[in-house]
Amino acid sequence: MASSSTSLGPSPSSTTMSQTRQSPRLEFPGSISDTWLSEKAILITGGASGFGLACVRRWALAKATVIFADISASGPSLQASLRASTKNENIHFVRCDVAVWEDQVRLFKEAVRLSPHGGIDSVIANAGITDRHPTFENPVGLDTESPPPPDLACLDVNLKGVVYTSHLALFWLKRNPGSAPASASADPDALKRDRHLLLVGSIASLGPIPLQAFYGASKHAVLGLFRCLRATSFVHGVRVSFIAPYFIDTPIIPASGRMLLAGAEMGKTEDVVEAMTRFVADPRIVGRAVCVAPRLRTKRLEGGGECLAPVGDPAAEEKAIWEVNADDFETVEVWNRRMIGILNAAEIAKGWIGWASDLFGALKYGLGLGVSRR
């Protein structure tokens, strides 16, 4: 059991970080109290298998109300078994195809109805699939009279579905009865209501996955969505977080993927659950992202950073959860930093007169005046 004094790392120094209400950097491992979860109403998509199901079980044991959605036919039986094994009757399955807008609208309305307090504290956009029959990079038969389009099911679930979930979450979270705008200074012991959106990406959000172009593109897009939302979600009082699991031994990895990963380390479901639970339980974490990797023994370097530690090194520590995209509002890749610097300098050089002139031009454009007609 932990108190609300758990450290979140050094205080932020960036003005932009404070403007977007981003919390300080994370430190893992970090302990939480199950009391921080016990009265929450949590909605998770893709909750009938893999680490989605593991999270449902973990939160059910903490006596949270959990509404888990999935397209799986096993949902009703899972609901019954979870209620029996966790002695928690507030576990509810709702069948939902996340790629169908009407299904998601119904899901959120049902979640609000099932919630003991009539609202949702945390939404986890977890549903995802791989491209089981990737043909995009090997097109054939496109010279026929009516060539078939590529199969976009992976994009429909992983991107469109996440967009639907996020859009609905931003609407319903700020209407959560008894909740207050998210704040990095919140007291987890005192705060029972929350407004939290957790986006589940993948290691494919951070790097390429050969022969899985649609999966990689969709997961890159989820990371992009997170990076945009964390800069603006404070307007709704919503905190947004992101997790990128490495290859985890779950049903999403097909046999072909397992063959490619033969001999390589895989991540642990329990580490993904730990990170997701930390995000859901701790209202002080705002706008942060982690990657869950295989458990590795590393050590810190004198000049900063870490490296794989030799076997038997007494200074080594086991680590699986790493913060990623932590520096968006502090520093950026060299080319971006230089270009942003040039653009900022140009804006300063134009001054207020230039700003007013551009604003007047924008107003004229909006009125249809001064627009080139060809």
Predicted local distance difference test score (pLDDT) of residue 372? 46
Question: Residues, the chain, total?
Answer: 374
17 and 330 Cβ atoms separated by less than 8 Å: yes
219 is catalytic: yes
Cβ burial of 38 (10 Å; 0-12, 13-18, 19+) is middle
The catalytic residue among 40, 87, 174, 219 is 219
**Both tokens assigned to 36:** 């921080």
From residue 179, alpha-carbon distances to 40, 107, 309 in Å are: 11, 21, 45
Which 8-state DSSP code applies to residue 317?
E
Q: Is the CB of residue 55 less than 8 Å from the CB of residue 276?
A: yes
Pairing mode of beta strands 122-125, 239-245: unpaired
Q: What is the pLDDT of residue 5?
A: 33
Query: Strand 289-300 to strand 317-323: parallel, antiparallel, or no bridges (unpaired)?
Result: antiparallel
- State both tokens at 57: 């079980």
Q: Which of 40, 164, 215, 246 is catalytic?
A: 215
Spatial contact of 69 and 85, defined as CB atoms under 8 Å apart:
no
Tell me the C-alpha distance between 333 and 120, whole Å. Answer: 37
Tokens, residue 209: 């996955």
Residues of the chain short of pLDDT 50, as ranges, are: 1-14, 371-374
Structure tokens at 332: 């950026």
